[in-house]
Structure 1
Amino acid sequence: MTLRGSLDVTVDGGVQFAFAVRNDGEEPVELAFPDALEADFAVLDDGEVWRFSEGRLFAQALGSETIAPGEVATYEASWDDPDPGEYAAVATLEAREQDCEARVEFSVDGDR
């Protein structure tokens, strides 16, 4: 697989997610998106607590992006009202015919 994902989480009042997708291959990778949702983010506890795409509408326009060898595409989202707790975040690339995801554990303090 030529795509490698990493996920950074910043907790500062809300929670900010930055999903970096790197092309580790030697050829450009063309990403084709069925709509304006390029990456989705989920927060898990015992089950799913929050999902970026839940309740949102995305433009139904085909999109594309090319990631050259060694380059990184970054996708971001914010969870504005998290409850204190221990969570796992999962970011998933929503491109057709390309799989890439990343997972990271994080916590939200009670005195944020």
Structure 2
Amino acid sequence: MTLEGSLETTGEDSRDAVLFVFTVTNDGDETVELRFSDACKADFIVADGDEEVWRFTDGRMFAQVLSSETIEPGTSTSYEAEWTDPEPGEYVARAELKAQDRTCEARIDVSIPS
């Protein structure tokens, strides 16, 4: 089982919001079942060096419901989050899969103009 993650952004130049799209791809030969303990399937974190400046899950509540998602070999699933009103600067964004027994993450540099 091999999960590969990629993270893309849109809207960096508008300064109103940045949309993150985290894509998880099953690069293996077998079907992967992802099990989740709540409605949050991925988290997104933006950091300036060692300082965390934004986290998608901060201040949010998620339904406590067990769910699962299946990813066939060679296919992908995506998760999105929006960072509103970002401050100008250079950041590193990270996305993490929140599945119970599988890990996958991706990173990308983000530049917000002044």
Bin the TM-score by the shorter chain: over 0.9
The 2-side partners of 1:84 and 1:102 are apart by 22
Residue 9 of structure 1: how far off its partner (Å): 1.1
The answer to whether residue 39 in structure 2 is matched with residue 5 in structure 1 is: no
TM-score normalized by the length of structure 1: 0.96
Partner residue in 2 for 1:100: 104
CA distance in 2, matches of 1:63, 1:87: 32
SS across alignment from 2:59: coil
Residue type matched to 1:4 in 2? E
Deviation at 1:106, TM superposition (A): 1.2
- Report how many residues are paired: 110
Separation in structure 2 between the aligned mates of residue 48 and residue 34 of structure 1, nearest angstrom = 25
Deviation by residue 1:29-85 (Cα, 9 ceiling, x = unmatched)? 000001000000000003100000000000000111000000000000000110000
Describe the SS at the equivalent of 1:61: coil
Q: Partners of 1:20 and 1:66 in 2: how far apart?
A: 14
**Which structure 2 segments of 5+ residues have no match?**
none
1:28 & 1:35 partners in 2: Cα distance? 22
Matched, 1:45 2:40: no
1:20 paired residue number: 23
Number of the residue aligned with 1:58: 62
Q: Which amino acid aligns with 1:7?
A: L
Q: Which segments of 5 or more consecutive residues in structure 1 lack a partner in the other structure?
A: none
The farther-off stretch of 83-92 and 7-16 is 7-16
Amino acid at match of 1:85: G
CA distance in 2, matches of 1:96, 1:35: 10
